[in-house]
Structure 1
Amino acid sequence: MPEESLMSVVQTAEPVIMTFTDNAADKVHSLIAEEGNDGLKLRLFVTGGGCSGFQYGFSF
């Protein structure tokens, strides 16, 4: 009887790094529409400084 090899797939769950709500997505869409450039992408960044040691921001 021939042996069958079975391949198992291991999936690891990535931790959720950021949650983006529907309201936030709507706001980003409206800000991009105001700029008049549908090719813009949202860029999030973290810099050192501020009371907690970090400052968070975004740009297009």
Structure 2
Amino acid sequence: MIRKSIKTRGSFPTEDAATKLIYLAIRNFEEGDRNVRKWFAARNHFAIMFEDRFNA
């Protein structure tokens, strides 16, 4: 899922832009009721990084 998102985007102007795209890809993945245990660690990390935009 993340690889597909990055592949369609191509290049990123900043590291923050890449991080945001990965965050959004994970969030969209979880909204589809396809929770995977390995995603929880990434989700928790992004919740710390983007606490003002994250509804846990």
Please state which band the TM-score falls in when normalised by the shorter chain. under 0.3
- Ranked by relative contact order (alpha carbons within 8 Å, sequence separation 6 or more), the top structure is 2
More strand by share: 1
State the structure with more CA Rg: 1
